[in-house]
Structure 1
Amino acid sequence: MSQQQISPLASVSPEAKLGEGVLVHPFAVIEANTELGEGCIIESGAVIKSGSRLGKHCHIHPGAVIGGIPQDLKYAGEESLAILGDHVSVRECATVNRGTASKGKTVVGSHCLLMAYSHVAHDCVLGDHVILGNATQVAGEVEVDDYAILSGGSLVHQFVRISKHVMLQGGSRVNKDIPPYTLIGRDPIVYCGINIVGLRRRGFTNEQIFRINDIYRTLYQRGLNNSEAFKVIEEEIPDTYERQLILDFVRSSERGIVRGTMD
């Protein structure tokens, strides 16, 4: 691993902890109480603020800010963190705020892509392989699970939960929970089917896809209330990880899930 390469025109606190091979471009700022894993790249004009923890090989592009103070009037200056996993790319002018006393940290998993001008607010938790499209805005304490894709210009209300393998149409306004494996779009948003293309790309078999589709047909298209749909699903569809993930998610939703086209 090569040694650190820190431009003399960058502002790097002597209290910052930088791993091997970190590259810091001119006019980047890295404050005290920060940790950067090996191989990170911090480009010109990027700011890594106090409380930031970056994993290995993260790439922070010009104008991005990691660990900014929460935009929450309840924040009272408490110590908190903004944590990024490994191989996270944060594009131009995107922002990740640190946590508040609510959870104490904002977390972005590994292999995530936060495109330009996107925003991750305080106390959010993003899983691995999440993509936020350009200018997507995620409010406080939102949960976004693995492999979810939120297309450009989406707006996500605070406390919303978005499950695994979801594909969200650009410009969507999300104020309900989004169950796993779904394709969500239109205005206002509705369930538009399952994310077949994404599931096939990630190695789901035809049998798995058919069963997921059957579950959502029962949930959304048979004119049943949730309790009735749960009973039919458990009686007619084999018990699999996918079935249990869907049922657990819907049952645990406090905001309610996105409506179907027949609602």
Structure 2
Amino acid sequence: MSRIHPTAIIEQGAEIGEDVEIGPYAVVGAHVTIGARTTIGSHSVIEGHTTLGVDNRIGHYASVGGRPQDMKYQGEPTRLEIGDRNTIREFTTIHTGTVQDAGVTTLGDDNWIMAYVHIGHDCRVGSHAILSSNAQMAGHVVIGDWAIVGGMSGVHQFVRIGEHSMLGGASALVQDIPPFVIAAGNKAEPHGVNVEGLRRRGFSPDAISALRTAYRLLYKNGLSLEDAKAQLRELAAAGGDGDAAVKTLVDFIEASQRGIIR
């Protein structure tokens, strides 16, 4: 049985799952679907065409599903889709998509979104990501699984943050971070492979060694980007335990539109 505080406003048409808890003075819009066992903190606003999966935790004063901060937006019924078991803390803002992109902003599962984070329109956040307090994502940002974005960091629109990568606190990111790479600074620069994170997630020593070799080819050997990519392709086909990880790195670089940090 859901527990909805009598001061909460639930607009007609909203769909509320089983065992949902909605705190005092929260507002849930008419086009919102909230999955089972989700908690909505006091004074939060869940609006727009927004879907939340099960077991999510929304902190007090969060604003989820608001209109895009895009001057081209003309009221189209764009969407926000949030998966399961996400923690979204106090004063976070997450906006719906725009028709100039796919029309949807997405979050996967098991993400940890700390206080005052902003996730702009058309962002795509994978699963198991951590966005630290006051991290700010402009529109169209893509964040891979298990990535970490440090507090007080700003991420330029259309930038991609690769899986298992880490952006240090108070950084300014204007180009893509390849998977598995640590970056920091204003403007953010590469600072090695996220070795500790990979160990914690079960990557083998051979896979980590292959990624360290890949990092040297990309950043330490004085190669042009095209020459580095050619050698990375050879490394990805070497037949070792790290082939899949290196291939992920190569595929990401080749798909980059804004270029990778150098």
TM tier, smaller: over 0.9
Using the alignment, how far apart are the partners of 2:233 and 2:123 within structure 1?
A: 32
Residue in 2 that maps onto 1:156: 155
Of 67, 77, 80, the match for 1:79: 77
Alignment of 1:181-196 (within 5 A): 181-196=180-195
Q: Is 1:35 paired with 2:38?
A: no
Give the corresponding residue for 2:64.
66
Aligned-pair CA distance for 1:229: 1.5
Aligned to 1:221: 220
| Structure 1 residues not aligned, in runs of 5+ | none
Percentage of matched positions with identical amino acids: 39
Query: RMSD value over aligned CA atoms?
Result: 1.0
Matches within 5 A, 1:67-216: 67-101=65-99, 102-216=101-215
Are the structure 2 counterparts of residues 236 and 120 from structure 1 closer, same or farther at C-alpha, using a change threshold of 3 Å?
A: closer
Aligned residues: 257
Determine if the alignment matches structure 1 residue 255 to structure 2 residue 258.
Answer: yes
State the AA in 1 paired with 2:89.
Answer: R
After superposition, the C-alpha distances for 1:47-99 in whole angstroms (9 at most, x for unaligned) are 10021100001111111011000000000100011111101111010010011
Q: Would the aligned equivalents of 2:174 and 2:187 in 1 still touch at CA under 8 Å?
A: no
> Which of 2, 5, 8 lines up with 2:3 in the alignment?
5
Paired position in structure 1 for 2:246: 243
What is the CA-CA distance between 1:223 and the residue it aligns to? Answer: 1.1
Task: Please report how far the alpha carbon of residue 232 of structure 1 lies from its aligned counterpart in structure 2 after TM superposition.
Answer: 2.3
Structure-2 separation of matches of 1:142 and 1:188 = 17
After superposition, give the CA deviation of every residue in 1:124-179 in whole Å (9 maximum; x if it has no partner): 00000111110000000010010000010010000001110011100110000110
CA distance in 2, matches of 1:9, 1:230: 58
1:192-248 per-residue CA deviation (whole Å, 9 max, x = no partner) reads: 000011101101111110000001101111111122112223335525111111111
Normalising by structure 1, report the TM-score.
0.95
Counterpart Cα distance in 1 of 2:218 and 2:12: 56
TM-score (norm 2): 0.96
Distance 1:93 1:116 in 2: 6
Distance, in Å, in 1 between the alignment partners of 2:232 and 2:10 is 56
- The CA distance in 2 between the partners of 1:188 and 1:72, in whole Å, is 25
Structure 1 partner of 2:50: 52
Structure 2, unmatched stretches of 5+, are none
Report the residue type matching 2:253 in the other structure: V
